[in-house]
Amino acid sequence: MNEDVLSAGTIAGGLGTRLIGQQVLYYPSVASTMDIAREEALRRATEGTVVIAGEQTGGRGRLQRAWLTPKGNIALSVVLYPSLSAVPSLIMLASLAVVGSIRNVTGLDPRIKWPNDVLLNGRKTCGILVEGDVRSDTVNHAIIGIGVNVNLRPDDFPEIQATATSLSHEAGRPVSPLAVVKSLLAEMDRLYLDLNRGASLYEEWRDRLVTLGQKVRVTARNLTFDGIAESVGKDGSLTVRRTDGSAVTVVAGDVTLHG
Ligand code: BTN
C-alpha cells in the first residue's frame, strides 16, 4: 500500500476518530460523492460514513453551480444523522474543520466568506455543500460535501482562474491530499462531538468570517442588493444594512465582497 495515496485503507488507518470516517468508501472516479452519500444515507449507513473520490466528473456546488475536482484534490461527503437543533451549525462545523485542517497541514491561515467558502489570500480554496432530508420536526439525514483545491493549478482552469486558488498554489509546494483529509476528518469528529454535547460553534465561526464590516453585493432569491455586512446570527443568517438604511437578513444566498 502506497502510504501517501488516497484509499479507504490509508484514510481510515490510524485515524483515531470516534464517528467520522469509521467507514470510508473510496471511489477512483465518480460523478458526485453527494449522490453516493445520499444512497448510503437512505440505506442507513453508519453515521460518519465518508464517501471520497479521486476525481469527480459531475461535481456540484451551491446555487446549481458546477464544482471541478480533477485528480490531486479532495472531494468528499459525510453522512450524518444530526438533531434538528444541530442542523444550522453544520455549515459552521464544516468550514471550521476545513480551516483547522489547512492550518494543521500547511501553516496557512484561511478565512471564511459567508456562509462557508474558505479563502486564502481572498481566493476560494474550498467549497462546502450541505444537503439533507430535513422535515419540520425531524432530520432523516444530512450530507456535508466538501471540495478542497489541494494541488489544483488555477492557471489551468480559465473559468475559475480569477477567483480560485489552492493549497499548493498558496504554500508554494505540493500538499498531500491524504494529510489534509485525515486532519479534516479528525477536526469534523471533534467538532461534531462538541456540538452533540451542546457546545456552540457560532463565536469561532463568526470570528473567522472575512465578510463582516465589508461592502457586499448579495444575491438571494433572484434579488440583488448592495450594503454593509453587519452581523451574523446563531442560525447562520447574515444581516446586511442596505444603502437606504434598511436591514435585510438572508439565510441562503451569494455574497460578493467589494472591500
Ligand atoms: C460550493 O462552493 O458551491 C460548494 C462546492 C461543494 C463541492 C463538494 S466536492 C464533494 C461534494 N460533491 C459534490 O458534487 N459537491 C461537493
Pocket of ligand 1 (CB under 6 A): 32-34, 56, 59-62, 65, 67, 69, 75-77, 117, 127-129, 145-147
- Mapped onto helix, strand or coil, the DSSP state of residue 60 is strand
Q: Which ligand 1 atom sits closest to the C-alpha of 74?
A: 9
Q: Which ligand 1 atom sits closest to the C-alpha of 56?
A: 14
Report the pLDDT value the prediction gives residue 2, as an integer from 0 to 100. Answer: 56
Distance 58 CA to ligand 1 centre (A): 10
Dmax (CA) of the chain: 62
pLDDT tens profile 83-127: 999 999 999 999 999 999 999 999 999 999 998 899 999 999 999
Distance 67 CA to ligand 1 centre (A): 6
**DSSP H/E element including 205:** helix 202-208
Q: Which of 25, 39, 60 to mutate to test the pocket of ligand 1 (most atoms within 8 A of CB)?
A: 60
Round to whole Å and give the CA distance between 66 and 244.
35
Kindly give, in sequence order, each residue whose CB lies less than 8 Å from that of residue 237, ignoring residues fewer than 6 positions away: 249, 250, 251
User: Angle at Cα 216 formed by Cα 215 and Cα 220, nearest 5°?
Assistant: 160
Distance 205 CA to ligand 1 centre (A): 20
- Do the beta carbons of residue 248 and residue 240 sit within 8 Å? yes
Report the pLDDT value the prediction gives residue 259, as an integer from 0 to 100. Answer: 63
Distance 144 CA to ligand 1 centre (A): 9
pLDDT tens profile 143-192: 999 999 999 999 999 999 999 999 999 999 999 999 999 999 999 999 99
Q: What is the mean pLDDT of the chain?
A: 95
Residue nearest to atom 2 of ligand 1 (CA): 127
Q: Which ligand 1 atom sits closest to the C-alpha of 63?
A: 3
Closest by Cα among 68, 98, 92 to 167: 98
Distance 60 CA to ligand 1 centre (A): 5
pLDDT tens profile 230-241: 999 999 999 999
Report the pLDDT value the prediction gives residue 7, as an integer from 0 to 100. Answer: 96
Report the pLDDT value the prediction gives residue 254, as an integer from 0 to 100. Answer: 86
Q: Is the pTM of this model over 0.75?
A: yes
Q: Which ligand 1 atom sits closest to the C-alpha of 126?
A: 2
Residue nearest to atom 11 of ligand 1 (CA): 145
pLDDT at residue 3 tops 80: no
